[in-house]
Amino acid sequence: MAKQRFVLRFAGKRAKPAEDVERIRSVPGATMLDESSARMLLVESHEQPLRDLLESLPGWVVAPEQVIPLPDTRERIERGPR
Amino acid sequence: MPEPTTPAQYVLLPMRGLRAKGTASTPETKEFLRSMTEGSRDLATAGGPRVRVQVIDSIGADGAKLVEVAPDSAAAIRALQPGLRLVPVVYYAPATKARERVVTVAERPGAAGSITLRVVSKTGGDPVAGAIVVAFTDFSTNTGAEGVTDAEGNVSLALGAAHVKLERLYVYPNTAMWSLLKKRVTVSEGSEVKLHPLDLDYTDALRHYYGKKGSQDAGANVKVAVVDTGVDPHPDLVVDGGMNTVPGEDPKDFGSNGEPHGTHVAGIIAARGTPPSGIRGVAPGVTLRAYRVFAQGAGGASSFAIAKALDQAVADGCDLINMSLGGGSPDPVLQAAVEDVRAAGSVCIIAAGNDGQPHVSFPASDDMAVAVGALGHKGTFPRDSTEIDDVQAPFGKDKKDFVATFSNTGPELDLIGPGVGIISTVPGGYAEISGTSMACPAVTGVAARVVASMPTLGEKRDAARSAAIVTAVAASAKDLGFSPVREGHGLPEPPK
């Protein structure tokens, strides 16, 4: 399986625990893409080892990163005339 | 009279977890859950008819309830108990592979069979540059050609012949003009298309419902976040500050990413101009903050950037967070971020989506969001503008009111706002755009005025504060005569 980008969010009022962040950083093959948020991380990783680790780290929510397109109501052409 | 709807099953549960424990739930929420024992009961709602709730099962006295209610009562129950989530019961099916689709590539513009059209202003004949022209030879199969006008107003369309009968011709200018829709029109080389210039004193749908020249102080002392494509400097706008949360980009660059969307949204809420030289938003007195989540250029918005923007808006003390965005599948991270906003005393107001579907898109569909659909009013746009496509039955108590064809509807909908042919600020000028993206900031503007009128609203930023805001905004809404799945509580009205 190819690597994916995952968003990790630490639930709770306090900031993400530094020791958790270090353990996530050490997941084999994982790359930390953004850790600027107080509660979140953006990580590129294989899914299974990341989820395996998070099972032992309470309070984290994880989901593949989604990219939402800009909304509009314009009509569009899907095919050219024959 | 709206038709009654068949009851559906929902799970009624606390904001966090399955049981109302700790500080995440108010005493009122806990008491309400304990009162919901198995059986049928009629609940009194604020200013509306009683709604029937059948409690089928329960996870403990203060835990989640499996209930059966009419979908058109969902909004009323959420307003009655804003500290609870009401989530439709989901039944999962085996995943199947999507069917492949064939898309034919259009002919190259400029090749034999191309036609050059010229787009000009109806007043003075000046060329209109940068307009998107979409020409359908067969509308039902989305067949035709499209392009963008150059500095001379010309666009070359690969339509395959020298004279072509078009089923529909759409023109979307990027500034200063109304859009145009022509049906059953024959075009040939050099055909001219004329657009109506925008008049900033025109009564569009926003001004029809909320007026053109409200007080400059409306919404004062309320802090509003626009989570969008960024907000550009504009003579009618004052941006207090903000942040760009797109990974890898400059956090200080919260101006436009090249798209006008966020600047348009900001103007609907907070523009401070005066017609006819400028435009005024619904709550020009608010403190406006911009959070850019769409990447530079035509990039999309990452769920990470959106969640980070919500956290930052809360940290910056924003009372209301406007999110004219959505789509994709429900995302637990974004869901948690929206819930955290509510727990911190603020409220996310989110566009229902423009798919014309009978369900609200995510994240507006989240129970902790205020979901907004789009309303139009006949006579508030030119008859030959693309907005004529948005008109559909049924009509409201006022026979000129309609729910826009593109507006997603469903039991998750909370409110409706004007979103058809809305004139607002864009980088370098003004433009009219339609969408639930425009209805959402109209409602955010009214919500800001409601919040400004709540002197008893607690300073303590907690779930009770956000629940009080949601309840007050819902209570301000006027029933326009559509069913609740089409209008939620209705159109919110600012305090007198």
Q: Which of residues 152-191 of B touch A (CB under 8 A)?
A: 158-161, 164, 168, 170, 172
Residues B191 and B142 sit within 8 Å (Cβ to Cβ): no
Chain A residues 20-49 with a CB less than 8 Å from chain B: 33-34, 36-40, 42
Whole-angstrom Cα distance, residue B298 to residue B436?
Answer: 20
Q: How far is B489 from B72, CA to CA, in rounded Å? A: 10
CA nearest A5 in B: which residue? B304
Residues of B in contact with A68 (CB under 8 A): 300-303, 306, 325-328
Mean pLDDT of chain A: 93
CB contact under 8 A, A67 and B300: yes
How far is the alpha carbon of B492 from chain A, nearest alpha carbon, in Å? 23
Q: Which residues of B touch A69 (CB under 8 A)?
A: 300, 327
Q: Which residue has the higher pLDDT, B10 or A29?
A: A29
Interface of B with A in 27-46 (CB under 8 A): none
Based on C-alpha coordinates, what's the Rg of chain A?
18
DSSP H helix total and E strand total for chain B: 9, 25
Residues of chain B with Cβ-Cβ distance to A39 below 8 Å are 311
Which residue among B146, B331, B437 places its CB closest to the CB of A77? B146
Angle at the Cα of A71 (from A70 to A72), degrees rounded to 5?
120
B292 touches chain A (CB under 8 A): no
Residue A11: per-residue pLDDT? 87
Check residue B1 and give its pLDDT: 44
pLDDT at B328: 85
* Separation in Å, CA of A75 to nearest CA in chain B: 7
Strand partners, B418: B375
ipTM for the predicted complex comes to 0.90
Predicted confidence at residue B185, as pLDDT, reads: 97
Residue B194: alpha-carbon gap to chain centroid: 30
Distance, in Å, from the CA atom of B176 to the CA atom of B36, rounded to the nearest integer, reads 55
The angle at the Cα of B424, spanning B296 to B448, to the nearest 5 degrees, equals 95
DSSP state of B318: -
Touching check for A14 and chain B: CB below 8 Å? no
Q: What is the number of other CB atoms lying within 10 angstroms of the CB of residue B123?
A: 11
Is A64 within 8 Å of A4 (Cβ atoms)?
Answer: yes
Percent of chain A topping pLDDT 90: 77
pLDDT of residue B144: 93
Tokens of A81: 């005339």
Q: Answer for the pair B344, A39: CB distance below 8 angstroms, yes or no.
A: no
Distance between CA atoms of residues B277 and B144, nearest Å: 39
What pLDDT was estimated at residue B8?
Answer: 82
Q: Shortest Cα distance from B6 to chain A (angstroms)?
A: 31
Q: Is B434 on the interface with A (CB under 8 A)?
A: yes
The residue count of chain B comes to: 496
Is the preceding omega at residue B276 within 30 degrees of 0, hence cis? yes
3-state DSSP assignment of residue B18: coil
- Strand B154-158 vs strand B287-292: parallel, antiparallel, or unpaired? unpaired
Q: Which pLDDT score is estimated for B299?
A: 77
Residue B95 is predicted with a pLDDT of 26
Give backbone dihedrals phi and psi of A41, rounded to 5 degrees, phi first: -135, 145
pLDDT of residue B344: 94
Interface test with A, best of B303, B331, B434 (most A CBs within 10 A): B303
How many contacts, defined by CB atoms under 8 Å, are there between A and B? 150
pLDDT at B408: 97
Q: Which of the 8 DSSP states describes residue B422? A: E
Six-digit token string for B469: 């805001």
CB contact under 8 A, A34 and B247: yes
pLDDT for B21 equals 63
How many angstroms separate the Cα of B69 from the Cα of each of B15, B64, B177, B268, B481? 19, 15, 46, 35, 21
Average pLDDT for consecutive 10-residue bins of chain B (496 residues)? Answer: 66 70 71 85 78 77 79 82 73 27 38 87 96 94 94 95 93 96 96 97 98 94 97 98 96 96 98 97 98 90 96 97 94 95 97 96 96 98 97 97 97 98 98 97 98 88 95 97 97 96
Strands B320-323 and B347-351: parallel
Put simply, the answer to whether B142 touches A76 (Cβ < 8 Å) is yes
Does the pLDDT value for residue A81 go beyond 50? yes
Give the pLDDT score at B110.
52
DSSP states of B72-99 as a string?
GGHHHHHHH-TTEEEEE--------PPP
Active site residues of B: 228, 261, 437
Tokens coding B127:
């060329």
H/E element, B473: helix B463-475
User: What pLDDT is stored for residue B420 in this prediction?
Assistant: 98
For residue A79, what is the DSSP state? Answer: B
Structure-token pair, residue B435: 């969408």
